[in-house]
Structure 1
Amino acid sequence: MSYCNYIPSMPSPQRELHQAYHDHHYGFPIHDDNELFARLIMEINQAGLSWETILKKEATFRLAYHNFDIATVAAYTEEDRARLMADAGVIRNRLKINAAIENANVILRLQKEHGSFENWISLHHPKKKEEWVKLFKKTFRFTGGEIVNEFLMSIGVLPGAHHSQCPVYEQVLAHKPLWQLG
């Protein structure tokens, strides 16, 4: 059952939480590097947990990770790691926290080399899911197959975020995907 079909069967307020993400974020292209980083970090933190847990914690993630400002997160110190490990508003997993910091540094490098994280993604399009997974595993930390697939679907690079009968499907298509910019 797809996300589109599953949401109506959810009880309220769970349904409203998922519906808002589905209708306004999931599958829509993101053109801001900090927001791309935010989505990647949220997908990484979802590993082993429900997406609902991440949606409920998004606001506290944004506070704890300085609104996912890449340069700020890349400069985090041991004190920042300790602060995040003590913050119940985020997922307190050392590997995921370290991945956020290391991946921020990788994105800074990609920005220097390609102008932006978005440009780096666009440069590699099109690829099959398996090729994307291989590229992300080589480039980033804590990026397995499901994380990469969901990240790329959620930002409009890979298809599958919505089925063709979903009312949001046409809205997503109306937005320019990352690889069609420029």
Structure 2
Amino acid sequence: MNNPIKRCHWPGTDELYVKYHDEEWGKPTHDDAVLFEFLILEAAQAGLSWITILRRRENYRKAFAGFDYKKIAQFDDGDVQRLLNDAGIIRNRLKIAAAISSAKLFMELQKEFGSFNKYLYSFMPEGKPVNNTSGSTPVSTPISDAISKDMKKRGFKFFGTVICYAFMQAVGMVNDHIPECSFK
């Protein structure tokens, strides 16, 4: 007897959301390049819905040099103007400036900790992802509070505890798939 596929309810029937849920959300990644991509995307999402950013992800990839943090750290006023004129992304000067600043800060954390991944997992219990089996999904936790507070102290913008928790979900630092989800 075949078991029907079950998934979390939040992606609904939107194909892009379903693909993101099934293939990425909650799956641990330790790749600094992927972590940086989500750092930029989650910060862009502040005040907006995730699907808004997900639909623009490829535009962000093109506009932000394939999410190459070394290149983004070198962006200048001309790049800021180019980005402000790019209808494919969220054209918010503060978010654009934050992305450029984040690239520089990201590299500082890599230098200090050996990788951004090592920095992030220094906050995790036993350095491992958390599997949430409570059946409820919080919007923040003491861990996201601590990471957000530390990153803000280091100069990161648009990375409050709620955005931090969404980032943690996206990159699999926490698994919030419902217990019956086939993709957990």
TM-score by length of 1: 0.83
Partner residue of 1:146?
162
- 1:138 Cα deviation after fit: 1.9
* Percent identical residues: 41
Q: Distance in 2 between matches of 1:144 and 1:156?
A: 18
- 1:25 Cα deviation after fit: 0.7
SS in 2 for 1:128: helix
Partner residue of 1:177?
none
Residue deviations 1:71-115, cap 9 Å, x none? 000111110111100000111001110110111000111111111
Partner residue of 2:85?
86
Partner residue of 1:7?
11
Partner residue of 2:178?
163
Residue deviations 1:22-58, cap 9 Å, x none? 0001111122212111111111111121211111111
Structure 1 outlier segments of 4+, above 6 Å? none
Q: Distance in 2 between matches of 1:86 and 1:94?
A: 10
- 1:135 Cα deviation after fit: 2.0
Partner residue of 1:134?
149
CA contact (8 A) 2:123 2:143 kept: no
Partner residue of 1:180?
none
The one-letter amino acid paired with 1:94 is R
TM-score by length of 2: 0.82
Mapping of residues 24-63 of structure 1, within 5 Å: 24-63=23-62
Q: Distance in 2 between matches of 1:45 and 1:53?
A: 10
Q: Distance in 2 between matches of 1:117 and 1:132?
A: 12
Partner residue of 1:121?
120
- 1:5 Cα deviation after fit: 1.3
Q: Distance in 2 between matches of 1:37 and 1:79?
A: 22
Which stretch shows the higher mean deviation, 33-42 or 129-138?
A: 129-138
- 1:137 Cα deviation after fit: 2.3
- 1:62 Cα deviation after fit: 0.2
Q: Distance in 1 between matches of 2:16 and 2:179?
A: 22
Mapping of residues 15-30 of structure 1, within 5 Å: 15-30=14-29
Larger relative helix fraction: 1
Which blocks of at least 5 consecutive residues in structure 1 are unaligned? 170-182
User: What RMSD over aligned residues (CA atoms) do the two structures have, in Å?
Assistant: 1.5
Which blocks of at least 5 consecutive residues in structure 2 are unaligned? 1-6, 126-141
